[in-house]
Amino acid sequence: MDLTALDQLQGLTADSLAMLSDAEMLTLTNQLLQVQALDRQTNQLKYYLPVSETATAIHRSTKRIIGVGGGNGSSKTDSCLVELCIRATGEIPLSLRDSYPREKLRGPINCRVVVESITNTLETIILPKLKWEHWQGVDQPGGVRGHYGWLPKHCLQKGDWSASWTGRTRTLDVRYHDPDTGEYRGLSRIQFMSYDQDPADFASGDFHFILHDEPPKEAIWVENLVRAKRVDGTMMLAMTWPDDPTTPVDWIIDRVYEVAQPGKEHDETYAWFDLFATDNQNLNQTALAELARSLSLSERQRRIYGQNLRLSNRVHPLFTDVPKVWCFACVDLTILNEEGRCGTCQSDAVCAFTHVQPVVGNPAYPVVCLLDPHPRKPHMLLWVQVDPNDDWGVIHELECAGSPGEVQERVQAIDEDYGWSSVTRVMDPNMGRSPSGVTRDVTWQDAFEREGLVFDLAEDGAAGRQVVNDYLKPDPQTHRPRCTVDPRCLRTIFQMKRYCFDDHKLTKEKDQKQTTKQKNDDMPTLLKYLANRSPDFRSLRAVGTVWKRDTGRYLPSSRK
């Protein structure tokens, strides 16, 4: 490599540049391109571009426990290894220079990377991703889609991997520089371990950053958590949810995934990111679409969208609050190829869709108000607006502790706020018929009726669940799902994403007799009641009930 071009460049002025012959100019340009290519190889971290907005969010996160779910080809391992390299070297990629939180850089630091196996994972997959001499990607070396190893040459001892690497202890020493002044601060140490080691082997040292590639055993996670907590360090977990339902990952869902989700159990120090292979700009999307074609829906949910198995056993698997793509020819989820056609059948009858979008209140539309009364926890209510296409807009939800009288006040306020003139009320038939507890021999249905809220008893049949699933499919005419949920209905969204069948092993033959888990079932069950009623715009408007504004009493229209 000829680096004299750099000296030449330094001596250049606008005048001397103009004096160069075409041939000299061409030589200079070529030399500069070579210099840039060499810099890209020895300093790949500097040129790193996150594959998607979610990947950028991972680097911006200052959370202490960071989970990254992703399918094959989602770049989860690379995104996490880059985060490791930034923290261990103090080198911030140009693309993140303005946004990378400086408080995360406190090197030199102690890091630990734990992989599934030393021989099968560490040496063949992980270390090559770090060595600057190694190219990997779709394109030829130096191309757009791919990268050289992430650790910059100048961060290795003497610029040499072997001078930095100690095979016996599997540790790598890397040079840490101040991210702003570039001043050398000392050596960060990265220790590599594997899940086949005894959990007791993990019980030494303090670590500022611990990366787990694929799910560890819970005992190893807990041991590492202790090691990281002592120095206020960060734990990172990058994983694809396993295909095998017997692999014990429930603890990850409970300890890491759920607490990172919005809701009551949310822990501020946890974050979870889902990286979709379909968002990876470095991946050949046509090849991905080819792969997806051979997978079943649940395999695709896991491998392409990185969803976990417990949640791939969902009662309403199509429900999504992130955009996905539907093919009307396949009548199924699909992945677009690079021409924007269905990757499975090449059809262009495709549309992007999501179920969570604003539902605009329309006082002229009929509304079904659904109630699940509870003696010991808050009553759950859902309002669904039915439009002239008979499509459902889930527009409002309410959790309300208290007596039927208190519920009546809240309900009246909400109905008046939206200005609806036609509201049909339906309640859980099992609870509706049981004693309300307020007065021993009065049922819930009677107790609410006494307050002026007249609820019909719903049909409890399981068929409604399938109707809900049909309504979740995008409609060929409108290119929208027939059921949408307003973003304000947080509990409905939360539960629709989590409501599951009871038995993992029966996923293949889901029939209507299959039992569902009671967890997260309130709002989905109210939607089932709605479906069993097959609400339609015209008849609802005719039989609906109206407020008598002058008296402030709520009366069914049939009693007028």
CB nearer to Zn ion: give 342 or 427: 342
Minimum distance between the CB of residue 200 and Zn ion, rounded to whole angstroms? 52
CB nearer to Zn ion: give 161 or 328: 328
Minimum distance between the CB of residue 479 and Zn ion, rounded to whole angstroms? 15
Percent helix, strand and coil across the chain, each to the nearest 5: 40, 20, 40
CB nearer to Zn ion: give 304 or 523: 304
Residue 520 to residue 314: CA distance in whole angstroms: 11
List all residues 6 or more positions away from 216 whose beta carbon is below 8 Å from its beta carbon.
Answer: 114, 195, 224, 237
DSSP string of 201-224, one letter each residue: GG-SS--SEEEEESPPPHHHHHHH
Subset of 45-84 contacting Zn ion (CB under 5 A): none
Minimum distance between the CB of residue 342 and Zn ion, rounded to whole angstroms? 3
Residue 487 to residue 494: CA distance in whole angstroms: 11
Minimum distance between the CB of residue 526 and Zn ion, rounded to whole angstroms? 33
Minimum distance between the CB of residue 353 and Zn ion, rounded to whole angstroms? 14
CB nearer to Zn ion: give 345 or 351: 345
Asked if 212 and 234 count as a contact pair (C-beta separation under 8 A), the reply is no
Residue 446 to residue 386: CA distance in whole angstroms: 27
- Other beta carbons within 10 angstroms of residue 543's beta carbon come to 12
Minimum distance between the CB of residue 138 and Zn ion, rounded to whole angstroms? 24
List all residues 6 or more positions away from 416 whose beta carbon is below 8 Å from its beta carbon.
Answer: 547
Size of the site for Zn ion (CB under 5 A): 7
Longest distance between any two alpha carbons in the chain, whole Å: 103
The mark string for 271-290 relative to Zn ion (x by CB under 5 A, - otherwise) is --------------------
Subset of 292-351 contacting Zn ion (CB under 5 A): 327, 329-330, 342, 344-345, 347
CB nearer to Zn ion: give 190 or 333: 333
Residue 89 to residue 106: CA distance in whole angstroms: 10
CB nearer to Zn ion: give 236 or 327: 327
Residue 109 to residue 211: CA distance in whole angstroms: 13
The mark string for 347-386 relative to Zn ion (x by CB under 5 A, - otherwise) is x---------------------------------------
CB nearer to Zn ion: give 49 or 330: 330
Minimum distance between the CB of residue 508 and Zn ion, rounded to whole angstroms? 22
List all residues 6 or more positions away from 376 whose beta carbon is below 8 Å from its beta carbon.
Answer: none
Give me the residues that bind Zn ion (CB under 5 A), please: 327, 329-330, 342, 344-345, 347
